[in-house]
């Protein structure tokens, strides 16, 4: 496998836009991985996946979709349901999704993986890195740096992407 190939955990289409653009500019060859068992309901996951496909098509990239296992995700965050967004529940959520991405990277022979979660202004990159660094092939790339978040807004608008108004799980629906 080419050294610069990277499996990109993609949380949604809008967050993937600027992240992918930056990765390609920096010489990476991304393959997208949609493994987001946190998303509720499943129709919302389908909707976000459809938007990701539009982004993948624009960049001519392969996308791998993992089947949702929301029950397993609920077990992971058990006891933390009432936490505020950005707290301990989210750290467990990152752990769940990054562990899945790490497993997929290993299974497919990727030496590197990263996540588009860091592009969001609403997500703490330090917390994501703390979780990700448990996995040897994790690349700590902060996509919100270099104007990434604003760029993702511009690109999402240009591509007419659906932008969700909640993070993903049922507990974030009312935040
Ligand atoms: S608010 Fe977002 S990051 Fe936090 S647990 Fe829910 S889906 Fe995961």
CA of 92 to the centre of ligand 1 (A): 9
Q: What is the C-alpha to C-alpha distance for residues 33 and 50, in angstroms, rounded to an integer?
A: 13
Which of the four pLDDT bands, split at 50, 70 and 90, describes residue 3?
low
Q: How many domains does the chain have?
A: 1
Residue 103 pLDDT more than 60? yes
Q: Which atom of ligand 1 is nearest to the CA of 80?
A: 5
**Is any ligand 1 atom within 6 A of the Cβ of residue 38?**
yes
**Domain of residue 157, CATH code:** 3.40.50.620
111 token code pair: 């030496």
Q: Which domain holds residue 66?
A: 5-172
**Is any ligand 1 atom within 6 A of the Cβ of residue 171?**
yes
Each residue of 135-150: b (16+ CB within 10 Å) or e? Answer: bebbbebebbeeebbe
Total length of the chain = 175
Closest-CA residue, ligand 1 atom 5, reads: 90
Residue 89 pLDDT more than 90? yes
Closest-CA residue, ligand 1 atom 6, reads: 169
CA of 93 to the centre of ligand 1 (A): 6
DSSP 3-state of 115:
strand
CA of 13 to the centre of ligand 1 (A): 17
Residue 97 pLDDT more than 60? yes
Which of the four pLDDT bands, split at 50, 70 and 90, describes residue 1?
low
- pLDDT reported for residue 121: 94
The strand pairing partners of 31, in sequence order, are 7
Mean pLDDT of 24-34: 97
- pLDDT reported for residue 99: 98
Is the overall model pTM greater than 0.75, yes or no?
yes
Closest-CA residue, ligand 1 atom 2, reads: 167
- pLDDT reported for residue 2: 55
Query: Mean pLDDT of all residues in the chain?
Result: 96
49-87 pLDDT, tens digit per residue, is 999 999 999 999 999 999 999 999 999 999 999 999 999
Q: Kindly report the CA angle at 106 between 114 and 102, in degrees rounded to 5?
A: 40
Q: What is the C-alpha to C-alpha distance for residues 10 and 65, in angstroms, rounded to an integer?
A: 10
**Is any ligand 1 atom within 6 A of the Cβ of residue 37?**
no
pLDDT above 90 coverage of the chain, percent? 97
């Amino acid at each position: 496998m080419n050294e610069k190939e990277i499996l990109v955990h993609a949380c949604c289409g809008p967050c993937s836009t600027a992240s992918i653009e930056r990765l390609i500019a920096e010489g990476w060859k991304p393959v997208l991985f949609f493994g987001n068992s946190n998303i509720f309901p499943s129709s919302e996951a389908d909707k976000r996946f459809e938007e990701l496909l539009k982004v993948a098509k624009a960049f001519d990239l392969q996308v791998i979709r993992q089947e949702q296992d929301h029950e397993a995700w609920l077990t992971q965050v058990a006891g933390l349901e009432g936490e505020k967004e950005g707290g301990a529940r989210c750290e467990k959520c990152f752990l769940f999704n990054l562990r899945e991405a790490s497993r997929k990277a290993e299974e497919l022979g990727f030496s590197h993986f990263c996540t588009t979660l860091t592009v969001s202004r609403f997500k703490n990159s330090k917390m994501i890195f703390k979780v990700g660094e448990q996995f040897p092939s994790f690349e700590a790339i902060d996509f919100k740096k270099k104007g990434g978040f604003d760029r993702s807004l511009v690109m999402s608008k240009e591509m007419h992407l659906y932008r969700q108004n909640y993070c993903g799980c049922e507990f974030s629906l009312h935040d």
